[in-house]
Amino acid sequence: MRLHRVHNKKEKMKKVVVLGIESTAHTFGVGIASSTGEILANENHTYVPKTGGIHPREAAEHHSKVAASLVKSALEKSGLKLKEIDGVAVALGPGMGPCLRVGATVARALSLASRKPLIGVNHAVAHLEIARLSTGFDDPLFIYVAGGNTMITTFSEGKYRVFGETLDIPLGNCLDTFAREVGLGHPGVPKVEKLASKGKHYHILPYTVKGQDMSYSGLLTAALRLYREGVPLEDVCLSLVENAYSMLTEVAERALAHTRKTQLVITGGVARSRLLCKKLELMATSRGVNFRPVKPEYAGDNGAMIAYTGALALASNVITPLEESAIKPLWRLDEVEIPWRTKKEK
């Protein structure tokens, strides 16, 4: 029994270095990281639509143009050669099909060329793992907010479990769409927040919390209506972010009360929002919970988080055979086994 444990311990400490590719939405990223948490490279390039939102095909075209040079510069930054890397990770989902396909194709090619294993990574899991690494929190409750996701989750019995999520559109999407409709452009969150800081009068808008879940579509419609009625844009922005962020904070507090976790983390693109972080901090402090946001460079989509998560998976002997490496645009977070955390719990 004892021998067996020592053997496991050695295995747990196995260090691998993985190159990771992110291409689920508007960012193409290449990162290189080790399973012990060293980030050796993080090279990213984001497609910015000229008008409107992200067009999946145009984003995919962007990705295929920048892919080769980003792989090259990531390798240069890390000082490693392709053959010195232990595996190639790629985000297979969830995300936009055409975008995912570019990343998957590049990753398969690199894996074949280097004869190193391929590791399919869930994009949402990667946001959570990079947040754990960057905040130093071991077992937090996560708030994962981005353009395409809004959920409250934590680890339990081998998987990340979803405690609450949006019932319709994600928070980032709500603010981005509002910004676009009123002519502020993309990405909307920082622009809406900047105007909100100049707002003077708060107007009551829909506040939809249903137990653990929240809904943002009614809020978006009502905010646009307010704007069209002639209410100053600054005031509409103020009211919109106040409701959007307070709803999320309330749901997070419910989950904290339920799970009794003592650490709270925010990850994903919207984690850069100072206003949201301030609200969460206030709530957490009142409950005696520690709060930290993920570091800004790992908040938005990035290659490093895929590389790091791929390295954790590879160190736990998780690999994806080539013939099973199809993209998974609807891959849910709570379907993924997390062996590197399960071992630790035992």
Using CB under 8 A as the binding rule, whether residue 156 contacts other proteins is answered as no
Residue closer to other proteins (CB basis): 276 or 304: 276
Shortest separation between residue 243's beta carbon and other proteins, angstroms: 7
In the bound state with other proteins, the residue whose beta carbon lies nearer, of 1 and 330, is 330
183, 195 contact by CB (below 8 A): no
Rounded to 10°, the helix 233-259/217-228 angle is 160
What token pair was written down for 26? 């508007």
C-beta separation of 247 from 276 below 8 A: no
Should residue 207 be labelled a site residue for other proteins when binding is judged by CB under 8 A? yes
Regarding 90 and contact with other proteins (CB under 8 A), the answer is no
Stretch near other proteins under the rule CB under 8 A, chosen from 10-18, 119-127, 136-144, 207-215: 207-215
Segment interacting with other proteins, rule: CB under 8 A, options 8-16, 173-181, 223-231, 286-294: 286-294
Beta strands in the chain (DSSP E): 17-22, 27-34, 39-46, 87-93, 118-122, 141-145, 150-156, 159-165, 209-210, 213-214, 263-267, 290-293
Instruction: Find out whether 267 and 142 touch, Cβ atoms under 8 Å.
Output: yes
Q: Which residues contact 325 (CB under 8 A, 6 or more apart)?
A: 90, 92, 104, 107, 108, 118, 120
Cα–Cα distances in angstroms (integers) from residue 1 to residues 4, 316, 317, in the given order: 5, 20, 22
Which among 114, 170, 122 is positioned nearest to 24, based on CA atoms? 122
Report the nearest approach of other proteins to the CB of residue 172 (Å): 20
| Residue range at the interface with other proteins (CB under 8 A); choices 52-60, 146-154, 179-187, 199-207 | 199-207
Which listed residue (177, 249, 302, 309) binds other proteins by CB under 8 A? Answer: 249
Question: Total number of residues binding other proteins (CB under 8 A)?
Answer: 25
Residue ranges of the alpha helices (H) in 136-216? 171-181, 188-196
246 binds other proteins per the rule CB under 8 A: yes
Q: How many helices (H) and strands (E) does the chain have?
A: 11, 12
Which amino acid belongs to residue 21? I
CB of 238 vs other proteins, minimal distance in Å? 8
Identity of the residue, 46 or 246, whose beta carbon is nearer to other proteins in the bound complex: 246
Residue 245 C-beta: closest distance to other proteins, Å: 8
198 touches other proteins (CB under 8 A): no
Residue from 286, 321, 323, 346 binding other proteins (CB under 8 A) = 286
**Residues at the interface with other proteins (CB under 8 A):** 202, 204, 207, 210-211, 242-243, 246, 249-251, 253-254, 256-257, 279-280, 282-283, 286-288, 330, 332, 334
